[in-house]
Amino acid sequence: MQKFGCLIVGIIFIGVAVFMYFKNSNLVKNCTVDAIATVVDMREDFTADSDGSGYMYYPIIEYQAGENKVEVEMSTGSSTPAYRINEKINILYNPNKTDEFIIKGDSTSNIISIVFGVLGLGLFAYGVVIVLKK
């Protein structure tokens, strides 16, 4: 079983990459309406990191979606605040599901899915070599 470890982990990483790619593609396809969002608050979430303490910061943004004002917390956080309170952010939101949005020009999700895919393919290939050698 141990010799199949790289194959299994590689397949998992490839699966995560494919899932992230399609999720991001759906967001890009569905989020079509321009808006300017304002960072109205920042949620701090305590996480234990390598030195035993740390915080992740999740911006809470507000924007106008037609007649409605929408307030939503970003799903991704960072160890240092990526935005300041009252900072304006250009977004695109989904007119059919107004709390679904993407930050205009942000390619972080694409980069992460590519990294997972490349790592997954590398691990998978390495696993194939290990299995074939034995």
Express each pLDDT in 79-118 by its tens digit: 888 899 999 999 999 999 999 999 998 877 788 889 999 9
Residue 66 is given by DSSP the state: T
**How many domains does one find in the chain?**
1
Closest CA to 27 of 86, 108, 89, 117: 108
Q: Tell me what pLDDT residue 65 has.
A: 94
pLDDT exceeds 60 at position 4: yes
Domain that holds residue 31: 2-133
pTM: 0.76
pLDDT band at 49 (very low <50, low <70, confident <90, very high): low
CB 74 within 8 A of CB 89: no
Task: Quote the strand ranges of 14-133, DSSP E.
Answer: 33-46, 55-65, 68-73, 88-94, 97-103
Tokens 């740390």, residue?
54
